[in-house]
Structure 1
Amino acid sequence: MTIDLTAPNPSFTLNNGVTMPALGLGVFQTPPEETSAAVAEALRIGYRHIDTAASYGNEREVGEGLRASGVDRSEVFLETKLWITDYGYDQALHGFEKSAAKLGVDQIDLLLLHQPLTSEFEKTIGAYKALETLLADGRVRAIGISNVMPDVLERLLEATGVTPAVNQVESHPYFAQRDVQEANARHGILTQAWSPIGGITHYRGDVERSTLTDPVIGEIAAAHGLTPAQVMLRWGLQQGRSVIPKSVRPERIAESLDVFRVALSDEEVARIDALETGERGGPDPDAITLETFGREIPEA
Structure 2
Amino acid sequence: MAPTSVPAVTLGNGVEIPQLGFGVFQVPDDETTAAVTAALETGYRSIDTAAIYGNEKGVGRALAASGLPRKDLFVTTKVWNADQGYDATLRAFDASLAALGLDHVDLYLIHWPAPARDLYRDSWRALERLAGEGRVRAAGVSNFQPGHLRRLLEDATLTPAVNQIELHPGLQQAELRAFHAEHAIATEAWSPLAQGAVLGEPVIGDLAARYGRSPAQIVIRWHLQLGNIVIPKSVTPARIRENFDVFGFTLTDEEMRALAALDRGLRTGPHPDELN
TM-score (ref. length: structure 1): 0.89
2:247 and 2:240 map into 1 onto residues whose CA distance is 14
Instruction: Summarize deviations over 1:268-295 as a string: whole Å, max 9, x none.
Output: 1100000111232210111112xxxxxx
Correspondence for 1:245 = 232
The letter of the residue matching 1:56 is Y
The letter of the residue matching 1:271 is A
Correspondence for 1:196 = 192
Correspondence for 1:119 = 116
Gaps in structure 1 of 5+ consecutive residues: 1-6, 201-209, 290-300
Instruction: Summarize deviations over 1:12-56 as a string: whole Å, max 9, x none.
Output: 000000000000000000111110011111111211000000000
Correspondence for 1:163 = 159
SS at match of 1:193: strand
2:148 and 2:93 map into 1 onto residues whose CA distance is 23
Correspondence for 2:62 = 65
The answer on whether the counterparts of 1:38 and 1:249 sit within 8 Å (CA) in structure 2 is: yes
1:275 and 1:90 map into 2 onto residues whose CA distance is 43
* Identity in percent: 50
Correspondence for 2:133 = 137
1:174 and 1:288 map into 2 onto residues whose CA distance is 21
Aligned-pair CA distance for 1:171: 0.3
Aligned-pair CA distance for 1:161: 1.1
Establish whether residue 151 from structure 1 lines up as the match of residue 147 from structure 2: yes
Correspondence for 2:272 = 285
The letter of the residue matching 2:175 is D
The letter of the residue matching 1:274 is A
Correspondence for 1:76 = 73
Gaps in structure 2 of 5+ consecutive residues: none
Correspondence for 1:258 = 245
- The count of aligned residue pairs is 273
2:112 and 2:255 map into 1 onto residues whose CA distance is 33
The letter of the residue matching 1:45 is T
2:193 and 2:265 map into 1 onto residues whose CA distance is 16
The letter of the residue matching 2:184 is G
1:221 and 1:143 map into 2 onto residues whose CA distance is 36
Establish whether residue 10 from structure 1 lines up as the match of residue 4 from structure 2: no
Aligned-pair CA distance for 1:67: 1.4
Instruction: Summarize deviations over 1:48-67 as a string: whole Å, max 9, x none.
Output: 00000000000010000111
1:40 and 1:68 map into 2 onto residues whose CA distance is 8
The letter of the residue matching 1:109 is D
TM-score (ref. length: structure 2): 0.97
Correspondence for 1:3 = none
1:212 and 1:83 map into 2 onto residues whose CA distance is 30
2:99 and 2:266 map into 1 onto residues whose CA distance is 36
4+ residue runs over 2 A deviation: none
Correspondence for 1:205 = none
SS at match of 2:107: strand
Q: Tell me the C-alpha RMSD between the 2 structures.
A: 1.0
2:76 and 2:258 map into 1 onto residues whose CA distance is 32
Aligned-pair CA distance for 1:261: 0.7
1:279 and 1:77 map into 2 onto residues whose CA distance is 30
